[in-house]
């Protein structure tokens, strides 16, 4: 059984005003002590199921590039010692462009990381400042160059639908990023989450119609450059999709390590969600089915019905309203076969509406 492992490093050097993830600003962290706890948790989760084979590992945060490479090695050595692993094990880490020292990316590669995701977020200084990023455009481009030199598998994040962002500005940015030769791009629409600095300041993202226009432009331009959209916000050159995130969207089991991490495990005939510290909570099949529906429809490939049934234990036809699906098909919002259902390009623009119709 395939298993992903997510390692959450909760610390950052500063808090971005749009961020609602669990993270703390702290300069001096006893890294070895926290990693000791991670290793102990890994041992605990290993004892729960003997059928897993680790396929992907993902270091997220927070800012996991603050984690010392020697500590990353400790974590990877523990995982490889505990579980059988795939021959093509994907090991991803998120990093910021303004690394702490010049050889960071080389050191990360030598520690075992083989996929690097860089949090750039914008390709102009004005918007970088607005988004609260601590790097500038020059640092971002320099970091991208270093990442490409040290990793064959690489990605960057950008945020669009910023307030007052124009179509012309976004087209320019997209053309610039596509010419950088990256294997993977994650392009997220700005959302204002409750409790963030942006929310407190009353910042508004681009209007819904403008956001939809920017989204359509994004898919068109990236397709012209050979990037295939495989999820609403994710695009890749062929063969460079993020396998770890695909595991989430497909509904595969994964372990979450760290204070802000969650996981899903099959233990016996039960589905359990895991939270820190070592809390196991049984999930009803209907709850898991709803989550699988929401995540699966984000994928361009849609939902494989047989896989859906295997992961939640409910027959597809017993969970959905076929009459509503037929209406969505007439509206050109979904397509369906005996094996699969997926949102159309129009349906992805109205995904919340589609999900509400199917989930009864």
pLDDT the model gives residue 320: 94
In tens, the pLDDT along 116-164 reads: 999 999 999 999 999 999 999 999 999 999 999 999 999 999 999 999 8
Q: Residue 227 carries which DSSP code?
A: P
> Do 341 and 240 fall into the same domain?
no
Instruction: Give the C-alpha distances (Å, rounded to integers) separating 151 from 39, 110, 180, 272.
Output: 26, 10, 14, 35
Under 8 Å between Cβ of 214 and 159: no
Q: Is residue 35 part of a domain?
A: yes
Q: What is the CB neighbour count within 10 angstroms for residue 228? A: 16
Cα-trace Rg, the chain: 21
Q: Which residues contact 224 (CB under 8 A, 6 or more apart)?
A: none
Distance in angstroms (rounded) separating the CA atoms of residues 174 and 168 = 10
Q: What is the CB neighbour count within 10 angstroms for residue 199? A: 14
Q: Is residue 97 part of a domain?
A: yes
Distance in angstroms (rounded) separating the CA atoms of residues 23 and 88 = 31
Q: How confident is the model at residue 23 (pLDDT cuts 50, 70, 90)?
A: confident
Mean pLDDT of 35-41: 98
Q: Residue 229: which domain range?
A: 2-246
Q: Is residue 98 part of a domain?
A: yes
Q: How confident is the model at residue 359 (pLDDT cuts 50, 70, 90)?
A: confident
Q: Pick the closest to residue 257 from 280, 281, 274 (CA basis).
A: 274
**Helices 208-224 and 167-178, axial angle in degrees (round to 10):** 30
24 pLDDT more than 90: no
> Do 330 and 181 fall into the same domain?
no
> Do 175 and 313 fall into the same domain?
no
Torsion angles phi and psi, residue 119, rounded to 5: -85, 80
pLDDT the model gives residue 360: 65
27 pLDDT more than 90: no
Q: How confident is the model at residue 49 (pLDDT cuts 50, 70, 90)?
A: confident
In tens, the pLDDT along 303-320 reads: 999 999 999 999 999 999
**What are the tokens at 305?**
């019905």
Please state the pTM of the whole predicted model: 0.96
Under 8 Å between Cβ of 66 and 23: no
Number of structural domains found in the chain: 2
In tens, the pLDDT along 216-259 reads: 999 999 999 999 999 999 999 999 999 999 999 999 999 999 99
Distance in angstroms (rounded) separating the CA atoms of residues 309 and 311 = 6
Q: Is residue 20 part of a domain?
A: yes
Mean pLDDT of 169-192: 97
Under 8 Å between Cβ of 112 and 150: no
C-alpha of 214 from chain center: 21
Under 8 Å between Cβ of 344 and 309: no
Q: Pick the closest to residue 66 from 142, 15, 13 (CA basis).
A: 13
In tens, the pLDDT along 257-295 reads: 999 899 999 998 899 999 999 999 999 999 999 999 999
Q: Is residue 232 part of a domain?
A: yes
pLDDT the model gives residue 78: 98
Under 8 Å between Cβ of 343 and 354: yes
> Do 32 and 121 fall into the same domain?
yes
C-alpha of 349 from chain center: 19
Q: Is residue 252 part of a domain?
A: no
Q: b or e along 14-53 (b: 16 or more beta carbons within 10 Å of the residue's beta carbon)?
A: eebbbbeeebeeeeeeebeebbeebbebbeebbeebeebe
C-alpha of 174 from chain center: 20
* CATH value at residue 213: 3.20.20.70
Domain boundary among 246, 268, 290: 246
Secondary structure E strands in the chain:
2-9, 11-12, 24-25, 53-61, 85-95, 115-121, 153-160, 184-189, 228-231, 234-236, 253-257, 262-267, 270-275, 279-282, 303-304, 334-336, 340-343
Mean residue pLDDT across the chain: 95
21 pLDDT more than 90: no
Under 8 Å between Cβ of 39 and 75: yes
Under 8 Å between Cβ of 311 and 288: yes
> Do 142 and 216 fall into the same domain?
yes
């Amino acid at each position: 059984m395939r298993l992903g492992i997510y390692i959450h490093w909760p610390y950052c050097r500063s808090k971005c005003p749009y961020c609602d993830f669990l993270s703390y600003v702290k300069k001096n962290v006893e890294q070895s002590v926290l990693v000791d706890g991670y290793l102990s948790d890994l041992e605990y989760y290993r004892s729960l199921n003997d059928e897993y084979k680790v396929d992907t590992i993902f270091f997220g945060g927070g800012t996991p590039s603050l984690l010392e490479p020697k500590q990353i090695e400790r974590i990877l050595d523990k995982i490889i010692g505990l579980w059988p692993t795939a021959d093509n094990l994907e090991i991803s880490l998120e990093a910021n462009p303004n690394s702490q020292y010049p050889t960071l990316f080389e050191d990360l590669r030598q520690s075992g990381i083989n996929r690097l995701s860089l949090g750039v977020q914008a390709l102009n200084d004005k918007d970088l400042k607005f988004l609260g990023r601590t790097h500038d455009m020059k640092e971002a481009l320099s970091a991208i160059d270093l990442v490409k030199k040290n990793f064959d598998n690489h990605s960057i994040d950008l945020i669009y639908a910023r307030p007052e962002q124009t179509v012309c500005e976004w087209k320019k940015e997209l053309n610039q990023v596509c010419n950088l030769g990256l294997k993977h791009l994650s392009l997220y629409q700005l959302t204002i989450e409750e409790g963030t600095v942006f929310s407190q300041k009353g910042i508004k993202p681009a209007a819904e119609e403008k956001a939809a226009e920017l989204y359509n432009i994004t898919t068109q331009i990236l397709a012209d450059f050979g990037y295939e959209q495989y999820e609403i916000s994710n695009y890749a050159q062929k063969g460079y999709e993020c396998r770890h995130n695909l595991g989430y969207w497909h509904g595969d089991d994964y372990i979450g390590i760290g204070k802000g991490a969650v996981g899903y495990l099959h233990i016996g005939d039960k589905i359990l969600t895991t939270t820190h510290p070592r809390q196991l909570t049984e999930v009803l099949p209907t709850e898991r089915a709803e989550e699988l529906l929401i995540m699966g429809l984000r994928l361009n490939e849609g939902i494989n019905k047989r896989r859906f049934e295997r992961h939640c234990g409910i027959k597809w036809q017993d969970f959905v309203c076929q009459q509503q699906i037929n209406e969505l098909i007439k509206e050109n919002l979904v397509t369906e076969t005996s094996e699969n259902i997926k949102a159309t390009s129009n349906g992805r623009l109205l995904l919340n509406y589609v999900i509400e119709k199917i989930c009864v």
